[in-house]
Amino acid sequence: MKPVILDDFLDPKSFQVLKNTMLGGSFNWVYNDAIDYADDEDKFQFTHSFYKENLGPTSTHYGVLSPILNRIRIKEIFRIKANLLTRTPKIELNSFHTDVGGNMGVIPYTTLILYMNTNNGYTEFEDGTKVESVANRIVSFPEETKHRGTSCTDEKIRMVINFNFLT
């Protein structure tokens, strides 16, 4: 199944509030010394957990997601996590993976990525499909679809929010 791509997902004001919140001084980013797998050498990212299964909202900023959550059909949230990668001298390809891991289609999770800034990074799928990082764009696909992100070279950061949920 091909990923579904939609531009201008949020109204401009809601998108700007979300972006300003994520780049603001009270928004905590956590350093992770791996991106997709623990043995990722020389790769790191910063993450922010909004929601975890069995814990519920894990961020005081969870409410800023309401314009998104109101637009998508969700039966149950598995995880919502923001990723921030810093600029690299050349585009770095991460490993193909699935976000929920080990599910392999047993539970029909959906993965949705919201791109928070425009840059020359992208999301690539195993079939070669690439989705460019464009601010306020979403891509949605079945969770068992292997994909990978990249770094960027033309902006200071590449910032996305990953949603994993039941529809």
DSSP string, the chain: -PPEEESS-S-HHHHHHHHHHHTSTT---EEES-SSSTT-TT--EEEEEEEETTTEE--TTGGGGHHHHTTS--SEEEEEEEEEEE--SSPPB---B-SS-S-TTSS-EEEEEEE-S--S-EEEETTS-EEE--TTEEEEEETTS-EEEB--SSSSEEEEEEEEEE-
Those residues of the chain that have pLDDT short of 50 are none
Tell me which CATH code domain 4-166 carries.
2.60.120.620
pLDDT for res 4: 95
pLDDT for res 38: 62
pLDDT for res 103: 57
pLDDT for res 106: 67
pLDDT for res 1: 72
> What does pTM read for this prediction?
0.92
Can you give the residue ranges of every domain in the chain?
4-166
pLDDT for res 102: 61
